[in-house]
Structures are given as structure tokens and as C-alpha cells.
């Protein structure tokens, strides 16, 4: 059992070292940086969520750029990773974020709207 844990730990450290040496991270957008920092520490999305007081779905949405963390969670992420907002890419919000909200569907036919 100890041998299995040692192998797992070694794989995690080698993976973290590869991530650390990745030059692409410097030119990445905020959601890639967030994911990189999480993976660098060997944390799951649930781990990050628990540490900042959020839920794993929100962390997943942040990492996929489907949502942007509120100022409260931005500060929690800055504190968690020990980096400033600029280093995490949180100081410049990208315009490519998808904000999807379901439409309200009208039940009455369009003709009733036209006739008054």
C-alpha cells in the first residue's frame, strides 16, 4: 500500500514540475491560469471550491470561462494562491466570456401580441 502511495505522489510531483516549467502559462488567459494554479498544487475543483467557500460547479465554470468570479471570490482566489490579481489574470476581464441565460418563453401566440 505504501508503495502505491509513493508512486501516486511521485506522479503528482512530476506532473506539477511539468506544469511549473510550462512557458505557455505566462501568455494564457485568466481561466487557464486558474486551472494551471489548481493543477500545480494537485487540487481538484472541489478542493478549490471548499477553500474559497464556493461550489465545484462554479470553479468548473470559471475554468471554462463560462463565468467570471465575483470580486469576493477573486479576493479569495488571490489569497488562496498567494498571488496578486494581475498574476492570476483577474485584473483584466476578457470580453470572450460567455454569459448564457435562458430566455423567457411566452405561452401566448404571437398573433395575440399584435392584435392587442
pLDDT in tens, the chain (116 residues): 677 667 666 666 655 555 555 544 455 789 999 999 999 999 999 999 999 999 999 999 999 999 999 999 999 999 999 999 999 988 765 434 444 444 444 444 444 545 55
CATH fold for domain 2-101: 434 Repressor (Amino-terminal Domain) (1.10.260)
How does DSSP assign 96-116, residue by residue? Answer: T-----PPPPP-S-HHHHHH-
Q: Which of 100, 99, 96 is nearest to 29 (CA)?
A: 96
Domain spans of the chain, in order of start? 2-101
Amino acid at each position: 500500500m505504501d508503495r502505491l502511495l509513493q508512486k501516486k505522489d511521485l506522479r503528482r510531483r512530476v506532473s506539477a514540475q511539468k506544469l511549473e516549467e510550462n512557458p505557455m502559462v505566462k501568455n494564457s488567459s485568466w481561466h487557464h491560469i486558474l486551472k494551471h494554479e489548481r493543477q500545480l498544487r494537485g487540487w481538484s475543483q472541489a478542493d478549490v471550491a471548499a477553500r474559497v467557500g464556493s461550489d465545484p460547479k462554479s470553479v468548473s465554470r470559471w475554468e471554462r470561462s463560462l463565468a467570471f468570479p465575483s470580486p469576493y471570490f477573486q479576493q479569495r482566489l488571490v489569497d488562496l494562491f498567494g498571488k496578486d490579481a494581475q498574476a492570476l489574470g483577474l485584473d483584466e476581464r476578457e470580453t470572450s466570456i460567455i454569459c448564457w441565460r435562458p430566455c423567457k418563453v411566452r405561452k401566448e401566440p404571437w398573433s395575440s401580441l399584435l392584435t392587442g
